[in-house]
Amino acid sequence: MSRRNEIRMTPEEQEAFLHAASKASLSTVDQDGFPHVVAMGFLVKDGAIYMTSYGKAQKVLNIRRNPKVGVMIETGTQYAEYRGIMIRGHCEIIEETERVAAIMRESTAKNSGVPRDDAVSRAPKRVALKITPEKVATWDHSKLGGRY
């Protein structure tokens, strides 16, 4: 068996990992063609990754120009502990205030334990980003059992 296959997460492991994580790196492409990477909170729902942002943020401007994005969620402080998921996909920008507010409620409840109305009150200035995965890579180095 290849090392790549040894460290790959099963679908069940991926789902558990995504639901336990609270922070992701979102990568977009800027106007000069360079990666623009930012830390984001996120929500997993119906096979997609959801994030929210102010509508005028650089990442949103980048997505309007090029909807191809990358998302990485990772944990671990040493090589033997590294676990992660890299997602490449297309991003849809959701601008309807009610949908944005609903996503914000669900996301803040996941990340803080309760829906925060102060966050939802900013929904009219915000957008939701729906990332539909096209290619997914996973790794769990703990499966190597100390064999590097």
Q: What is the dihedral of CA 107, 100, 64, 15, to 10 degrees?
A: 30
**Lowest mean pLDDT: which of 40-44, 50-54, 114-118, 123-127?**
114-118
Contact in structure between 29 and 62 (CB atoms under 8 Å): yes
- pLDDT, one tens digit per residue, over 5-38 is 889 999 999 999 999 998 999 999 999 999 999 9
**Lowest mean pLDDT: which of 39-48, 96-105, 118-127?**
118-127
- pLDDT, one tens digit per residue, over 32-76 is 999 999 999 999 999 999 999 999 999 999 999 999 999 999 999
Tell me the pLDDT band of 121, cut-offs 50, 70 and 90. confident
Confidence (pTM)? 0.89
C-alpha of 118 from chain center: 23
Q: Residue 4: its pLDDT value, please?
A: 79
Going along the chain from its start, the domains and CATH numbers come out as: 3-144 (2.30.110.10)
